[in-house]
Amino acid sequence: MVSRIIPVETFDLVVFGGTGDLARRKILPALFKRYCSGQMPEGSQVIGAARSELTEEQYRASVAEALREFAGDAAQDVAAVSGFCDHLHYVAVDARGESGWGDLAALLNEGSVRAFYFSVGPGVYSDLAKGLKRHGLTEANTRIVVEKPFGHDLETAQKLNQELAQYFDESQIYRIDHYLGKETVQNLMAVRFGNMLFEPLWNAQYIDHIQITVAESVGVAGRGEYYERSGAMRDMVQNHLMQLLCLIAMEPPSQFEPDAVRDEKLKVIRALDTVAPHHIVRGQYTAADGADSYREDVDNPRSKTESFIALKCQVNNWRWAGTPFYLRTGKRLSERDSEITVMFKDTPHSIFGDEAGRHRNELNIQLQPNEGITLKVTIKEPGPGGMRLVDVPLDMSFAEALGPKGQGAADAYERLIMDVIRGNQTLFMRDDEVEAAWAWTDPIIRGWEARGDVPKPYDAFSFGPDDAALMMRRDGRNWRGLGK
């Protein structure tokens, strides 16, 4: 097997918010790992930028500490950490003020790919974009990477898009959704569009329903202020679950190329129906097993924000008419588990009689905690004594088949940051996609706000409110995942 990793050009990546939580936990460890894989060409620089006054030595020491905490085994290699730190610089610059811009400009190299990662609070994005332009730090092929949340609703997302568009062309803006950087999410596209086997069956005629679960066992403590304004719908459904739904439901793009893929995703979002109130279950965790309640975590005894949501929606087009999509996400659930299940229909007729039971093919795409794809097929149970059927998994996870290559899959941030450097926007959200997703989300939120809905309580570390299971059972179905 010939490896064809596309090389990257020499780059300057400026991480605004380079001392923050996301930079320490994800961005810098991802860059370090790419450095270890030989993907940081000589002359490339990573420049941390934030308001705090730090010397370069202090910054390098704090990044080395972050790598030891968050970059796994690779960071035990002292020489590797020190080699990476040689590429590191720090500038104290206030994105909203006047100080520090000249120092930053002096560090940037002519001719290197230039990217600015906006790892600062969303309230700073516009000022930062303006500051970069006003101080002459941008060139025609400069890229900016914008973190979530991208807006709070359609109006704020449109405003932010317009503000960024004053300073950058859409081709320069990389709205990051790390779910799209996961190996398995991309493998889902390879499975769908690289095989003859699945695509002919990938429609309402053969698929009974699709489920997407993104469950977390952590609560919201530490992020309470943000989460209280956001809730599960804005924090997870509008972006991550929506993007996963798009990749499952979209038509085959003519090429695996940014606008071709994003055009198809956009069509899916625009084809989503408005969700009826009885197809939505909102929940909020209560204290259990030593964990505080949501209301304690956000310090608001009357909070009506949902820490859990399950909903049933429909993609109103020819391919999917009659095949529901069930989405579920929440905090403080029994386990951390992200997966997509494509449940195929029953065979039209069972030649084996009733005693053979009901057997269905099921394609499971596991995203967290481990990544892998499993197809459940029905076979004969071995041995004499009649025709008994049993479901067995065909494991398509990469680890065994691909050996070390399959195990060492790059983390989502590693892949996405390198895509920014390569100038490949395929796995980033376009402005119209983000706005269409808010246009679908807003009326749903306005609906429950107008009704004064109070989320259903559920025990911390449970499967969520009973009503979520009931919603499924009413349709004669069950959730997959979360211990099932």
State the residues that interact with ligand NAP by CB under 6 A. Answer: 16-23, 50-52, 94-96, 119-122, 124, 147-149
Measured distance CA(223)–CA(239) in Å, rounded: 18
Write down the least CB distance from residue 156 to ligand NAP, Å.
Answer: 13
Catalytic residue among 87, 209, 240, 279: 240
The residue (of 96 and 267) whose beta carbon lies closer to ligand NAP is 96
The residue (of 147 and 411) whose beta carbon lies closer to ligand NAP is 147
What element of type H or E holds 50? strand 45-50
Write down the least CB distance from residue 352 to ligand NAP, Å.
Answer: 50
Amino acid at residue number 65: E
Write down the least CB distance from residue 92 to ligand NAP, Å.
Answer: 8
The residue (of 185 and 210) whose beta carbon lies closer to ligand NAP is 185
What element of type H or E holds 45? strand 45-50
3-state helix, strand, coil in the chain (%, to 5): 40, 20, 40
Count of other CB atoms within 10 angstroms of residue 206: 14
Token match 């807006």: residue?
151
Q: Are 67 and 29 in contact (CB under 8 A)?
A: yes
Backbone CA torsion sign across 256, 258, 263, 268: positive
Q: Which two tokens stand for residue 229?
A: 């304004």
Strand blocks (E) in 308-400: 308-313, 325-330, 337-344, 362-368, 372-380, 389-395
Write down the least CB distance from residue 107 to ligand NAP, Å.
Answer: 15
Q: Are 322 and 345 in contact (CB under 8 A)?
A: no
Q: Which two tokens stand for residue 8?
A: 């990257």
The residue (of 268 and 416) whose beta carbon lies closer to ligand NAP is 416
Measured distance CA(232)–CA(213) in Å, rounded: 12
Write down the least CB distance from residue 20 to ligand NAP, Å.
Answer: 2
- Alpha carbon separation from 384 to 157, 239, 378, 391 (Å, rounded): 63, 51, 17, 18
Strand blocks (E) in 87-221: 88-92, 113-118, 143-146, 173-175, 207-215
Measured distance CA(124)–CA(16) in Å, rounded: 10
Residue stretches of the annotated binding site for substrate? 178, 182, 216, 235, 331
Q: Which two tokens stand for residue 368?
A: 């967290």
Question: Greatest CA span in the chain, whole angstroms?
Answer: 82
Instruction: List all residues 6 or more positions away from 462 whose beta carbon is below 8 Å from its beta carbon.
Output: 288, 333, 334
Active site residue 240: yes
Q: Where are the alpha helices (DSSP H) in 367-465?
A: 398-402, 404-407, 412-422, 431-451
Q: Are 139 and 168 in contact (CB under 8 A)?
A: no
The residue (of 218 and 387) whose beta carbon lies closer to ligand NAP is 218
Write down the least CB distance from residue 116 to ligand NAP, Å.
Answer: 11
Measured distance CA(231)–CA(294) in Å, rounded: 11
Measured distance CA(456)–CA(115) in Å, rounded: 44
Residue stretches of the annotated binding site for NADP(+)? 17-24, 51, 148
Write down the least CB distance from residue 215 to ligand NAP, Å.
Answer: 17
Q: What is residue 433's DSSP assignment?
A: H
The residue (of 52 and 55) whose beta carbon lies closer to ligand NAP is 52
The residue (of 89 and 148) whose beta carbon lies closer to ligand NAP is 148
Amino acid at residue number 108: L
The residue (of 152 and 319) whose beta carbon lies closer to ligand NAP is 152
Active site residues: 240
